[in-house]
């Protein structure tokens, strides 16, 4: 019986994150979940902004000061990228739901497209924010 015990213990464990070679499909999946949680934090900022706008000038001034500070801008920049990424990769997920794009080549290509487009779109939004609508 002791013999059965030791063989049971030494069975190979299933592969996990530390063993798999990183692929773009795996990375996009993990980032999708991470950006989803990050967007929850961003939504809290949007909620604070709306509640402050509804409450009064003093409260709104506090939020405004926070957002225009370096830390606020950093959060807002992250929020922009998370939104761009999650939105674009969400469309990729919706395409999968129709049965399109599951071939390895297609899934790899759309994964890279989503990553590149999310960065480009974020930069476009921030360049517009800085140069077209105000020089803050």
Q: In the complex, which residues of this chain contact another protein (CB under 8 A)?
A: 33, 36-37, 39-40, 43-44, 46-47, 50-51, 53-54, 57, 60-61, 64, 80, 83-84, 87, 90-91, 93-94, 97, 125, 128-130, 132-134, 136
Fill in the DSSP letter of residue 43.
Answer: H
How far apart are CB 90 and another protein at their closest, in Å?
5
Q: How far apart are CA 19 and CA 86, in angstroms?
A: 26
For residue 127, the minimal CB distance to another protein (Å) is 10
Are 98 and 127 in contact, with CB atoms under 8 Å apart? no
Q: Which is nearer to another protein, 6 or 102 (CB)?
A: 102
Which residue's CB is nearer to another protein, number 18 or number 57? Answer: 57
Residue 126 neighbours by CB under 8 Å, 6+ apart? 77, 80
DSSP three-state, residue 35: helix
């Amino acid at each position: 019986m002791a013999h059965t015990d030791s063989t049971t213990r030494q069975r190979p464990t299933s592969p996990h994150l530390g063993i798999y070679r990183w692929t773009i499909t795996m990375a996009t999946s993990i980032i999708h979940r991470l950006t989803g949680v990050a967007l929850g934090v961003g939504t809290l900022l949007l909620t604070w902004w709306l509640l402050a706008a509804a409450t009064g000038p003093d409260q709104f001034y506090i939020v405004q000061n926070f957002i225009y500070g370096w830390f606020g801008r950093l959060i807002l920049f992250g929020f922009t990228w998370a939104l761009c990424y999650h939105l674009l990769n969400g469309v990729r997920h919706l395409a999968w739901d129709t049965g399109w794009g599951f071939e390895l080549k297609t899934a790899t290509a759309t994964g890279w497209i989503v990553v590149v487009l999310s960065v480009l779109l974020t930069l476009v939004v921030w360049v517009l924010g800085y140069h077209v609508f105000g020089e803050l």
